Structure formats: C-alpha cells, structure tokens
Chains A and B, each alone.
Chain A
Amino acid sequence: MSNLSSLRGRIRWDLAIMVASACLLFSLSIIFQDKGEKAMDISWAFFKEMAFVLPAVLVLMGLFGVWVDRRLVIRYLGEGSGIGGLLLAIVLGTLPTGPLYIAFPLAGMLLKKGARVANVILFLSAWACIKIPQELVELRFLGWRFTALRLGLTIALLVPMALLAEVVFHRHEQESALSPGGG
C-alpha cells in the first residue's frame, strides 16, 4: 500500500516543518529581543496547555479504538436507511478514531455494499469533524459557546447536505435506468 509510505513521508515533512519553525522562532526572538520575549512566552503558554490536554485526549482516542469495533460500524451503517440510518451514520462517525484517510476505504466499501450515499457522506463528515476526543480540545481553547454552536450548526447542515448530495449523485449516475430511491 502506498498509504504507509506516504504516511512516512508526511512524518518526515512534519519534522522538517517543526525544525524550520522552531529555528525561525528562536532566531527571530534573539534578533528582536522585545518582541521575541512575547513570542516565546506565548509559545510556552500554549505548550503547557497542550501538555495538559493532549495526552488525555490521545488516551481517550486509544480507548475508543480498542473498545469500539470497526466491523460493527460497517455492519450497522451498511444496513442503515431512513432517518434512523442517517442519525446512526452521524453517531457512528463520531465514535471510531483515526484520520480521514482511514475512513475513505471504509466508506468505499460501504458504497459498494449498497449503503445510501447520504449515509456514507454523513459518516465521513462526522468522522472528519465531530470526533468526541477532538471536541474536548476545541472546548478547551475556543469555549462552550463557540464549540456548541459550531457542532450544532454542523449537524443541522450535514443532513440536508448529505441528502442533496445523494440526489445529485444519483441523477448523474443513473440518468436513464433507475430513479433515485425515494424510500
């Protein structure tokens, strides 16, 4: 699989960016003493915050990964249809962990197994942006009001978006033979 090698490449790339930005921060801070002090203080403050929150969030992700069986997710999503299926797609998308590129093959399999397009889009979107451990970090840095409003709006908009995508998808794909499934 090319996924693994591209992952390695990304980590190397991340390392390079880390070294470059750290060097830039240190050298600028030494050249411009007064501004540099503020910059270093800010970075240090954020470092401390991350040090307190990040390990806990990652442990939570690990626990999800171990206790929530991915095969279960596939099975229920594949069968899901109607409003229950849509809700299930969102809820299941929030539970498992891992980056989006793990979810793409899963979603592809779901599509091939005959899951609704809307369900698959909801699943992917929920996977991408409403993961529970991730939200703890959003809560910490952006506050209750921002987090709650953004999550609420996201869920409220995802459902019509997924249904619209499904209609467009079917109209183009099966123009002649099948009509988009209404029930």
Chain B
Amino acid sequence: MSLTAVVIDALVAVCLVLSLLKDREKTKAAILIAWNALKRLAPSVLAVIAVIGLIVGFIPAKWIASSIGSESGMVGALVAALIGSVLFIPALIAFPLAKSLLDMGAGVMAVAAFITTLTMIGFVFLPVEIKELGRRFAFLRNGLSLVAAMIIAMIMGLVLG
C-alpha cells in the first residue's frame, strides 16, 4: 500500500466522519451511492486489470515503445488521442492502464493525449450530446477538445518527456 493511497484513504475517512457527525441519513445515502457505483464499475475495473496483465505480460515492450513511445512523437500522440476518443472506459480505470503503458516505454506525450481525450471526448456519447445540445455545439466541443488534448500532450511531452 503506497503513501498516496494512505493519504487518500485517510482524507476520505475524515470526510466520512465529518459527514456522519453532521447527518447520519445523508451519510448513509452517500455510502449507498458509492456501493452502487462500485457494483456498476466493478466489471470494467476487473476487465481493465486483466487487460493490463495481458498487455504487460504478452505484448513485447518494444512494440508499445515503437508505436506510442517518446520516439513516435506526434504520430504516436495522435494515435493515442484517437484511441482515447473511441474507448469508453471510465477515467478512474484508465489511470492504472496509463501507468502500465508508461512503465512499458510509452511516451508521456501519448499517454497525456490518451487520458485527456478519454475524459473529454466520447464518441459513444456523441448521439446523446447532439440530442441534448445540438449538432453544432457537440461538434465544436469535441473538435476543440481534440485540439486542446494535442496541445496539452505536446507541452507535457516537452516538459516531462
């Protein structure tokens, strides 16, 4: 168990105690929300954990490094951005996946592009967005998000790469 995990758990425990002191019913409701979210998320969490094992165990690191490694530059970042736009795994679960990709030699640029597009762009949700907000709004938001993701990725690649 890492230090960050301890800090996070402690922080949440404090919040939970404060909430409990203030209102028992609301706290119960919050825990119920958490429990339902856990049930909803559990299958994809477990799937991604298995996929991480598959990637790290069976895909040669040099494949990852050559396709989205720091040497791959903008093309690698663009590939990662497109994958991130299409996939619909929750960001919560994408972070460990991103970590294992980084460990295998993926570039910071590509990983940043992947995470940013994953959270901001959802091709799966595009029909819903169009229905609720209109075609123009949806296309503008998604298009500009892609541009922003690439800029963020480029700067991060330069600073941390």
Contacts and interface: CB of A to CB of B under 8 A. Distances in A.
Contacts of A48: 1
Contact of A149 (B16, B53, B160): B160
A58 B37 contact: yes
A63 B119 contact: no
Contacts of B102: 142
B51 A150 contact: no
B52 A63 contact: no
A104 to B, nearest CB: 4
Contact of A99 (B27, B90, B131, B160): B90
A104 B125 contact: yes
B33 A61 contact: yes
B34 to A, nearest CB: 4
Interface string A54-87: 1111111111011100000000000000000000
Interface string A16-32: 01101110110011001
B46 A22 contact: yes
Interface string B7-43: 0110111011001000000110111111101101101
B99 A59 contact: no
Contacts of A17: 43-44, 47
A101 B2 CA distance: 33
Interface size range of chain A in the complex: 35 or more
B58 A28 contact: yes
A99 B38 CA distance: 14
Interface in A118-140: 120-121, 124-125, 128-129, 134, 136-140
A107 B1 CA distance: 39
A54 B119 contact: no
Interface string A40-63: 101100111110111111111111
A21 B47 contact: yes
A46 B92 contact: no
Contacts of B122: 100
A108 to B, nearest CB: 4
Contacts of B5: 49, 52-53, 140
B110 interface: no
B63 interface: no
Interface of A: 3, 11, 14-15, 17-18, 20-22, 24-25, 28-29, 32, 35-36, 38-40, 42-43, 46-50, 52-63, 65-67, 97, 99-101, 104-105, 107-108, 111, 117, 120-121, 124-125, 128-129, 134, 136-142, 145-146, 149-150, 153-154, 157-158, 161, 164-165, 168-169, 172-173
Given A150-B115, A168-B140, 18 more contacts: A21-B50, A28-B54, A36-B57, A39-B53, A39-B54, A43-B50, A50-B96, A56-B11, A59-B31, A62-B30, A63-B16, A128-B119, A129-B119, A137-B95, A141-B96, A142-B95, A142-B102, A158-B148
CB-CB nearest 3 A-B residue pairs? A39-B57, A43-B53, A62-B30
20 contacts: A40-B57, A46-B100, A53-B5, A54-B41, A59-B34, A61-B33, A62-B29, A101-B128, A104-B132, A136-B8, A137-B91, A140-B2, A140-B5, A141-B98, A142-B98, A149-B156, A153-B156, A165-B141, A169-B136, A172-B136
